[in-house]
Amino acid sequence: MIKKLLLYVIIAVITFFISYSLHNYLLTSLDSIPPYNLREVYIFHASLSLFLVVTFELIIYFLKEFKDQIGFLYLGSIVLKMMLFFVIFRELLSTSLQLTKSDKLSLLIPIAIFIIYEVMVVVKMLNRAD
């Protein structure tokens, strides 16, 4: 189990660094700097994704009877994750700040990247025969 958890951490960290660096480079080269800290958005999504993945792995390991419920727990966790994002970044999402389409897209890209990461890991967990 430790090897699995370590692998999830390594993949999340690599995903964070590659996606954030590439995203930041593209925005800088296009002179389209968003009015918010893009790194904080990436850190939020990466850390919460890692937390969810580790939590689900621990649930599967220690509470085997809940393995069939992981998919439903994951769906609920997406809702909670988005609610937490709105609470933490409410000033960013308020109507007083005018975001361009590029800025809005820059908010959605980390969400998509880390949802893909979470789905891939959760599906791998569910398909694994223990």
pLDDT in tens, 53-109: 999 999 999 988 888 899 999 999 999 999 999 999 888 777 677 888 999 899 999
Distances (CA, A) of 12 to 36, 42, 57, 91: 22, 11, 14, 27
- Please, are residues 52 and 74 in contact by the beta-carbon 8 Å criterion? yes
Domain count, the chain: 1
Predicted confidence at residue 95, as pLDDT, reads 67
Residue 33 has pLDDT above 70, yes or no: yes
Please tell me the predicted confidence (pLDDT) of residue 22.
98
**Predicted local distance difference test score (pLDDT) of residue 10:** 97
Question: Has residue 129 got a pLDDT over 70?
Answer: no
Tell which wins on pLDDT, 117 or 90. Answer: 117
CA dihedral 80, 86, 89, 94 (to 10 degrees): 180
Q: 92-127 burial, b if ≥16 CB within 10 A, otherwise e?
A: beeeeeebeeebeebbebbbebbeebbeebbeebee
Range of the domain at 42: 2-127
